[in-house]
Structure 1
């Protein structure tokens, strides 16, 4: 007797609409697949594997549900018989049958889903590139696509959306762990972008192997979104940098001046090149930087300049030299080495789901974004109220600002030790 597809309820609970799944067993293989139809458990007939007829009058939509089940059952049977007649049952794997079913539900007759995952991802990114997103955003998203292409090349055959499950995310994570030196926080970003693309595909009508939005990158995949602990330079270190004689190395002098200047301004690196003489005003002898933020909702930020920032600004006519981020990051490390910033910094980094303590010379950790952290940290150490610092950095949430404040544990302990609580 040829196998027959049946329908069962998935984890039924009385009084709650329950998903109906298709079950089909043949030649030692089996397929379990959601029909995307629902019914109240008490309206289900376990013998006929359909909704009881007496309830179709109460809920006319039940007539359509039963019709869909009948058509799915007929399609599965016809597909099985086709492979049987052609003596190709060995080729009818659960994955192949599922692919035929997905294509059938999409109104296709060629047995293929509308679009493979990689093709959709590329088209999705083409649309993103044509949108009004910033270049820095699309550049980082293109990196994620390129990494996924490398991962997909290791998979057997073409990847389709019905294969997108928690297990696929686990395999993608494992690929990073086994083939790259990428930290968990960066892997978290790449998988988050892949999940966003899958969510877009699901909203566009693609059939997923699971609810991708239910996949928890932190708890289920053990990928912490927390990046490796970062550093800031403190007031005395900025003073040492400013006083460092680099007259014999003019290219490093420019990098040093640019870095120290923006440690006193606090702008993100991608805004540095926008600063010019028109952004500066003077009132009662005090210089101010007047600029609008770009990240999130634009808002006006006015930042007073201290004497060191004014001195550097005048040196360059308040038009900072333009240096690429890659060159800057390489040369500022050289400057900080010359300044003697060789203290070993211990940092916690999440690697393969575990916390590891790394030790690195401080000069190697200095980069463009250190300037913004140094600005926030020095303002905090100077005793400025958090709301005032937020007004200068453009942050709208205190918790976001606090990520930029990098008070060394020893300095923090020394500051606390001066409190009356420890001096009675």
Structure 2
């Protein structure tokens, strides 16, 4: 069981400030400033934890009365927190002691729910049940970053030696958590994803009446975000990749064909990696793919690009077999190098709170997701209407869609200059 002791600390002009020291576990202590003080250390009675009734301490009776009440309330607080099964830490003690100091009391709810407990439930529940907003369960690709955030929160809890309740998620937590993630060397956008996921869990718990803390809704509880110069491949570069002779390298051949299909369809890896002949249909002589996307559940119709038809012909009408994401990404570095994608690309990122500028060869940056960006950008440069590109890519927000358009300012200039307004 926890205990309380009273200690003095020297203040200004020889005054002695009175503090309560809470001991609530092995090496777990909290020092609380009572706001009370005495004029001289000689006037303190350590046996009774009180100020002596002497001429030099004219306010001794009032100080002793307030101090006695704080000690009594503090002991009661420790007892109630232990009985409730709630976690005890400095932040929790500070919050309740502040209420006691200002209002004379602080209510303790039985069994305060923990953030990670609800987070675990959220992941399990919505992996099989539809979310109210989307009317669909969380896709595997969406569930993965949620699980990553939960793991990071638990690691942070271990470092602090506490368990977060919903009341912990304040603007102060927001600042400290971001600082922790920066020290861990994460990028601003990755940190932003963690904040976004926490806000989602907090909002779900709030709507279920599990807490009344609205700090996560405040303007200061923002998610860091920055524009990163992600690459795309133009049609000349994609053609070079398509034309590579890889018959003696079957794994590279499969990865290359999957990448080209993705670059001509705009499909995510979870979709292009699972295509089969049942996805191919025809309408008025037009061959196209009908795909129910895993992430959104929407059905998209995509005309078969000649590059895709070429791959199907090479494989006797079949799509390439699926391949683990990471294996495709590993293969793509080698494939892009063989295609001589050697242009230098400067990538600026905020890592660990500091902006870092790194120069890469283009082939070092090619990944699965490069294909989706390449589709959107090349279709945009080819004057395909944005609404039609979005119908294929499955984007529902133009704001998000335009993040995928990686045309340079000069490439945009060329496109804009051909508009009738400038002619």
What is the TM-score when the length of structure 1 is the normalising length? 0.69
After superposition, the C-alpha distances for 1:167-224 in whole angstroms (9 at most, x for unaligned) are: 1111111111112x21111101111212222333344444566522115344xx7x12
Q: State yes or no: 1:187 paired with 2:203.
A: no
Query: Which residue of structure 2 aligns with residue 127 of structure 1?
Result: 125
- Against the structure 1 CA distance between its residues 296 and 353, is the aligned structure 2 distance closer, same or farther, given a 3 Å change threshold? same
Q: State yes or no: 1:81 paired with 2:72.
A: yes
Distance between the aligned counterparts of 2:235 and 2:171, measured in 1?
48
After superposition, the C-alpha distances for 1:60-81 in whole angstroms (9 at most, x for unaligned) are: xxxxxxxxxxxxxxxx998842
- Against the structure 1 CA distance between its residues 208 and 273, is the aligned structure 2 distance closer, same or farther, given a 3 Å change threshold? same
Query: Would the aligned equivalents of 2:329 and 2:366 in 1 still touch at CA under 8 Å?
Result: yes
Distance between the aligned counterparts of 2:357 and 2:264, measured in 1?
31
Query: Which residue of structure 2 aligns with residue 383 of structure 1?
Result: 383
- 1:4-403 matches, cutoff 5 A: 29=33, 80-81=71-72, 95-96=92-93, 98-99=95-96, 105=107, 107-108=109-110, 113-131=111-129, 132-179=137-184, 181-207=185-211, 211-218=215-222, 223-224=224-225, 226=226, 228-282=228-282, 286-296=286-296, 298-299=298-299, 301-316=300-315, 317-352=317-352, 355-403=355-403
Distance between the aligned counterparts of 1:303 and 1:378, measured in 2?
15
**Larger displacement relative to structure 2 (270-279 or 124-133):** 124-133
Q: Secondary structure at the match of 1:96?
A: helix
Q: Secondary structure at the match of 1:240?
A: helix
Query: Which residue of structure 2 aligns with residue 14 of structure 1?
Result: none
Q: Secondary structure at the match of 2:301?
A: strand
Aligned positions, number: 343
**Larger displacement relative to structure 2 (337-346 or 209-218):** 209-218
- Against the structure 1 CA distance between its residues 80 and 161, is the aligned structure 2 distance closer, same or farther, given a 3 Å change threshold? farther
Query: Which residue of structure 1 aligns with residue 9 of structure 2?
Result: none
Q: Which runs of no fewer than 5 residues in structure 2 stay unpaired?
A: 1-17, 21-31, 36-66, 80-87, 130-136
Distance between the aligned counterparts of 2:144 and 2:89, measured in 1?
42
Distance between the aligned counterparts of 1:292 and 1:414, measured in 2?
35
Query: Would the aligned equivalents of 2:171 and 2:221 in 1 still touch at CA under 8 Å?
Result: no
Quote how far apart the aligned CAs of 1:340 are.
0.8
Quote how far apart the aligned CAs of 1:119 are.
3.6
Alignment RMSD:
3.8
Query: Which residue of structure 2 aligns with residue 51 of structure 1?
Result: none
Query: Which residue of structure 2 aligns with residue 52 of structure 1?
Result: none
Q: Secondary structure at the match of 2:318?
A: coil
After superposition, the C-alpha distances for 1:92-123 in whole angstroms (9 at most, x for unaligned) are: 98843745989974653xxxx52343444334
Distance between the aligned counterparts of 2:90 and 2:406, measured in 1?
56
Q: Secondary structure at the match of 2:281?
A: strand
Query: Which residue of structure 2 aligns with residue 40 of structure 1?
Result: none
Q: Secondary structure at the match of 1:154?
A: helix
Quote how far apart the aligned CAs of 1:244 are.
1.3
Q: Which runs of no fewer than 5 residues in structure 1 stay unpaired?
A: 1-24, 32-75
Query: Would the aligned equivalents of 2:127 and 2:139 in 1 still touch at CA under 8 Å?
Result: no
- Against the structure 1 CA distance between its residues 208 and 315, is the aligned structure 2 distance closer, same or farther, given a 3 Å change threshold? same
- Against the structure 1 CA distance between its residues 217 and 166, is the aligned structure 2 distance closer, same or farther, given a 3 Å change threshold? closer
Q: Secondary structure at the match of 2:358?
A: strand
Query: Would the aligned equivalents of 2:241 and 2:339 in 1 still touch at CA under 8 Å?
Result: yes
Quote how far apart the aligned CAs of 1:277 are.
1.0
Query: Would the aligned equivalents of 2:270 and 2:294 in 1 still touch at CA under 8 Å?
Result: no
After superposition, the C-alpha distances for 1:8-66 in whole angstroms (9 at most, x for unaligned) are: xxxxxxxxxxxxxxxxx9867359xxxxxxxxxxxxxxxxxxxxxxxxxxxxxxxxxxx
Query: Would the aligned equivalents of 2:349 and 2:355 in 1 still touch at CA under 8 Å?
Result: yes
Distance between the aligned counterparts of 2:241 and 2:304, measured in 1?
18
Quote how far apart the aligned CAs of 1:130 are.
4.8
Distance between the aligned counterparts of 1:278 and 1:85, measured in 2?
69
Quote how far apart the aligned CAs of 1:370 are.
1.3
Query: Would the aligned equivalents of 1:231 and 1:365 in 2 still touch at CA under 8 Å?
Result: yes
Distance between the aligned counterparts of 2:283 and 2:206, measured in 1?
56
